[in-house]
Amino acid sequence: MVTTILQSILSVLSALVIGLFFMGLFRIIMARIHWRYGPPLVQPVIDIIKLFFQRSVSHGIMFDLGLILSLAGSMVIILFMPFGNGCWCPLSGSGGLLVILYIMLLMPFGIALSGGAGGNPNVSIGISRKLILSLGYEVPFLLIVLAVMTRYKSISLVEIVRYQQDLQWGLFSWPLCLPGIAYFLILPAMLGIRPFDVASAPQEISSGPMAEYGGKYLAFVHIEHAFGLSITIALFVNLFLGGADNILFLFIKMLVVFVLGLFVHAVFPRFRVEQAIKYLWKWPTALAFVGLVVTLLVK
Amino acid sequence: MDRNQITKWLKSPAKMANKYSLHVIYFCTGCGIIEIPPVITAKWDAERFGVIPVATPRQANLFLIAGYVSLKTLKAIIRTYEQMPEPKYTVSFGSCPINGGMYWDSYNTIKHLDKFIPVDGWIAGCMPRPEAIFVGITHLWTLIDKEMADGYIRYRKNYAAYRRNQEMLFSNLGWPPLYSIDDEPEGGSQEAGVGK
């Protein structure tokens, strides 16, 4: 019991630290690509400290609760996510991938509920774009997860990781490489980075769903963003890159995936919403579907 | 972040974090808009000081006013300033917001910005070079350290006078007072400089 609680706290904390590190690294690497010096690595932490000391404005009870719902949803997913095989996955025995699939919807919905209470037209546009985008990437994402679950005949992430460590990494085994590539193609959409940053486009709609957040609220949004980064990339590593024995190897694998995603972010301009949907429902969905069919036939 | 600043961080984290994380909302008109893009992009990289542009006043704590302020845009400036969360700082950039500059005898621009919102720092020049923004920001750090960047406290204290000045220009401001305007402190009207 005590170890479970300790593991829960540790896994949430480590996900937060990894996410904040990625946010800092994001800004530094983007600066170097722009031929700039860039901020210090701890800049997101400084921002969050500052935001917690600011006076903030609330827009009603839904504004507070939606944000808490989103934050709690992302924390719960981390409890189901193996951070290093066997050591830090406090709730690995129950649920597995299916629970993660369900709770992952809470993150955009919580922000949507909360931002909607702000009554800002930019927030409404941002939320509609965010939900349309999540409609776009949920279809290939479900097909990908279905293919993985069919291949390994298991819904438990811990077992999927163990199979991969015994046999071969998912990304390099035959039928699963197609869903793996598809997951990498939808990764920018799930992270909300370019070319899929339609939802939080600061130049078009004043940073969209975040337009009404200030002070502590914005700090919580930043923390939720850090959790989101950790979750999405850790899921990719666990599903296709064989997970890891401990958190250090997991972190290195996540770092490689994240930096590759960053290069995509640095090079591409922003899609419009309908272009994003067209892309997401074409190539990743086709790859994931073919992967699913081949997985079913090979079995 | 320097290593020898750790004691400062432990002593007053709020002050230090405010110093090194200035999220700026820019108000630019005329030649002011020319000077801002080099500051935030590759040439003079403001991000290494923790200064990044944000899109909405709710996320900002530094308001940079670059260029002349016309009567119409002053209303937007006041609204933006009142929406920013405290502690908030204002820096005006160029001589136009200081004393009218080359628009001194224009019928449609205001001469003294600090009659309508409090201003913590001035950067003089027509136009100042982008480096002046960094000099201004390091001065603002000193002011925050000595707790002299107290524009938002002055605004709360002398709100009645500021509001009166604002209503002198606009007969109908269109939004209720931010703070109560009944209890005006002694000498408040002189500090805020009533009259044009």
With an 8 Å Cβ cutoff, is B61 touching chain A?
Answer: yes
pLDDT at B186: 52
pLDDT at residue B192 greater than cutoff 60? no
pTM score, whole prediction: 0.88
Span A16-68, pLDDT tens digits: 999 999 999 999 999 999 888 888 888 999 999 999 988 888 888 888 898 99
Residues B83/A215, Cβ–Cβ less than 8 Å: no
Work out how many domains chain B is built from and give that number. Answer: 1
Find the range with the poorest average confidence among A175-179, A266-270, B19-23.
A175-179
Give dist(CA A295, CA A190) in Å, integer: 24
B41 to chain A, minimum CA–CA distance in Å? 8
What are the extents of the domains in chain A? 2-298
B147 to chain A, minimum CA–CA distance in Å? 15
- Rounded to 10 degrees, what is the CA torsion of A235, A236, A239, A240? -160
Interchain contact, A38 vs B47, CB within 8 Å: yes
Least Cα distance to B39 among B104, B124, B130 occurs for B130
Residue A84 amino acid letter: G
Quick one: B81 exposed, middle or buried, by C-beta within 10 A (0-12, 13-18, 19+)?
buried
* Residues in chain B closer than 8 A to A211 (CB atoms): 55-56, 58
Mean pLDDT value of segment B77-86: 88
B82 to chain A, minimum CA–CA distance in Å? 12
Interchain contact, B59 vs A54, CB within 8 Å: no
| Most confident region among A157-166, B138-147, B182-191 by mean pLDDT | B138-147
pLDDT at residue B94 greater than cutoff 90? no
pLDDT at B193: 45
Residues in chain B: 196
Find the range with the poorest average confidence among A65-74, A165-174, A248-257.
A165-174
Least Cα distance to A185 among A167, A171, A204 occurs for A171
Longest dimension (CA), chain A: 59
Residue A93 amino acid letter: G
Q: The domain spanning residue B65 has which CATH number?
A: 3.40.50.12280
With an 8 Å Cβ cutoff, is B56 touching chain A?
Answer: yes
pLDDT band at A243, cuts 50/70/90? confident
* Average pLDDT score, chain B: 83
From its phi and psi, is residue B166 left (phi > 0), alpha (psi between -120 and 50) or beta? alpha
Quick one: B146 exposed, middle or buried, by C-beta within 10 A (0-12, 13-18, 19+)?
exposed
Residue B150 belongs to some domain of the structure = yes
Give dist(CA B119, CA B143) in Å, integer: 12
Residues 6+ apart with CB under 8 A from B133: B35, B39, B44, B46, B64, B93, B123
Give dist(CA B90, CA B93) in Å, integer: 10
Mean pLDDT value of segment B83-102: 87
* Predicted-complex ipTM score: 0.83
With an 8 Å Cβ cutoff, is B20 touching chain A?
Answer: yes
pLDDT at residue B195 greater than cutoff 60? no
pLDDT at A84: 67
Pick the residue of B2, B22, B47 with the most A CBs within 10 A to test the interface with A by mutation.
B47
Range of the domain at B26: 3-157
Axis-axis angle for helices A273-280, A121-152 (nearest 10) = 10
With an 8 Å Cβ cutoff, is A32 touching chain B?
Answer: no
Mean pLDDT value of segment B24-51: 86
Pick the residue of B2, B5, B9, B21 with the most A CBs within 10 A to test the interface with A by mutation.
B21
With an 8 Å Cβ cutoff, is A9 touching chain B?
Answer: no
Span A188-218, pLDDT tens digits: 988 888 888 888 887 888 888 888 888 889 9
Handedness of CA A103, A52, A229, A265 (dihedral sign): positive
Span B154-168, pLDDT tens digits: 888 888 888 888 888
Residue B18 belongs to some domain of the structure = yes
| CA distances (Å), origin B129, targets A117, A191, B10, B48 | 42, 38, 36, 18
